[in-house]
Homo-oligomer: A and B are copies of this chain.
Amino acid sequence: MESDTIDTFFNPKSVAIIGATTNPDKAGHVIFKNFANNKKRGIFKGKIFPVNPKMDLLFEFKCYSRITEIQEQLDLIVIVVPARVVPQIMEDASIKQVKTAIIISAGFREIGEIELEKHVVSIAKKAGIRILGPNCLGVYYSKTGVDTLFLPETKVLTTGDEIIATPRPMFGDIAIVTQSGAFGIAALDYLAGRQIGISKFVSFGNKSDVTETEVIDYLLSDKETKAILLYVEDIKHGRRFLKIAKTVALKKPIVALKSGRSIAGARAAASHTGAIAGSDKVYDTVFKQTGVFRANDMEEFFDAGKALSMQPPALGKNIGLLTDAGGPGIMAVDECESKGLFVNHFSEETINKFQKLKNRGILPKFAATSNPVDLTGSVTDEMYEIAADLIFQDPKIHGIILLGLHHLPALKEKYIDGIAEISKKYTKPIVMSDIGETEMALYTRFRFDKLGIPAYPSPEDAARAMSALVQYGQFLIKNRQEKEYLKKFFEKKI
């Protein structure tokens, strides 16, 4: 199986870093240090071999002048030397029967050196070596300590202060697969700050050999990955992608950010990685056919990924909206409709139940209860829990958007756990929003996230996240996979 080889990128038993050096400004230094530190901490359990003809020792590791001098079998080599030297390295790798190579070095197809890239690939192909890159960041996998990101976690400013610059996110459910290294790094910074964990990170750059398709195929059977975030500027081997992506998407949600939508954007993409993007409408069709959710922008990309990794899909388009604030409720309704979702009236039974609760003084007399439910400024924690439960029960409702604006005086934090408990009784998805960028807003969103209910800073973000859950549900239904998916989702098998 091919996926065994791809697995070697994440689980190598031995790694040589070619271009490892003591100069802290060099990528080869940072990458070697990553491995050496992870080895010291007991995270990386394989063997490490620095390769640099000018040195004998590096961080107490014996340094080799060529990989052919290394006695042990090499699972992975990481190449961080100038492009022109890479063919020679690859010849050595052929002799050593290396399994996989990550070529960090730039200076290939992306600057017009197409022949050089082809030459490197042809050597590797003959020897059966799989290549990630060139012109990429490679792999980050926190569990085995493989970290070929050449950007150190901290940076020293001109003031002398050391500051977190490129954090590695915690372990979690989302895989990041990216053509752009810079965007990949930015994504790690975003996810680390938002405390969203990742399973695996792959930056494949020029994708001279291993493509996005192979990586997502590998991730299909990766038990640690619940959702895949894919950033691409073009897609290679479209027909294969169509087949594989659909197979994967039926089991595991994929969110794509495909840039170069516009004419000027496509031009910029071409000069970036030499990508020939083709018509953007073709990509729209490809994503639709394969069930890949296409995000409109960076924020939707992360928001949809978070929703799909945390919540089951919505098996219909009718959304129940529960709010304590009229204005933001309307904003969410607007965005739902613009995304093709419905915020229709509840079933008669639900309306009657709400009326009774109002009559008995359990909900505010003037609360709107015909969807959206607006609990008004008199909202309490208990009201939220009662109302959410009722909405979940309505057979006409396929998902809930909860707007829990924390500002109102009688609302405390108790309802957060309450809602999380209630949601466990149902297989319908729920997302939430609280607006604000200070203490209680951040706390509220963080708590919901931790309890598996994705929380967003604006009502429209929450609506867009729900739209991703609906779209994925529609895809599964169309392919009659919704029951199978839900079963696995709730058995925690995705």
Contacts and interface: CB of A to CB of B under 8 A. Distances in A.
A190 interface: yes
A143 B61 CA distance: 65
A231 B192 CA distance: 33
Q: Number of copies of this chain in the oligomer?
A: 2
Nearest to A165: B440
A244 interface: no
A439 B325 contact: no
A299 B462 CA distance: 12
A335 B297 contact: yes
Contacts of A368: 268, 271-272
A298 interface: yes
B325 A268 contact: no
A117 interface: no
Interface string A407-421: 111101110000000
B327 A182 contact: yes
Contact of A328 (B155, B182, B271, B334): B182
A458 B368 CA distance: 36
Contacts of A412: 155, 157-158
A272 B458 contact: no
Interface string A182-207: 11011101101110000000000000
A374 B271 contact: yes
Contacts of A282: none
A111 interface: yes
Contact of A158 (B163, B374, B413): B413
Interface centre among A257, A342, A408 (most CB of B within 10 A): A408
Contacts of A189: 407, 435-438, 441
Interface string A313-335: 00000000000111111110111
A327 B435 contact: no
Contact of A186 (B190, B272, B405): B405
**A110, A157, A186, A458, most chain B CB atoms within 10 A:** A186
A273 interface: yes
A365 B407 CA distance: 54
A157 B167 CA distance: 32
B155 A185 contact: no
A252 interface: no
A478 B88 CA distance: 63
Contacts of A95: none
A142 to B, nearest CB: 16
A468 interface: no
Contact of A265 (B164, B264, B330, B374): B330
B441 A193 contact: yes
Interface string A387-419: 000000000000000000111111011100000
A161 to B, nearest CB: 9
Given A111-B366, A155-B409, A264-B343, 10 more contacts: A159-B413, A180-B326, A186-B325, A190-B437, A194-B437, A264-B333, A268-B329, A268-B330, A269-B326, A271-B326
20 contacts: A163-B443, A164-B440, A180-B325, A180-B326, A180-B327, A180-B328, A186-B436, A187-B435, A189-B407, A189-B436, A190-B435, A233-B330, A257-B331, A262-B334, A269-B326, A272-B368, A297-B331, A297-B458, A298-B459, A299-B461
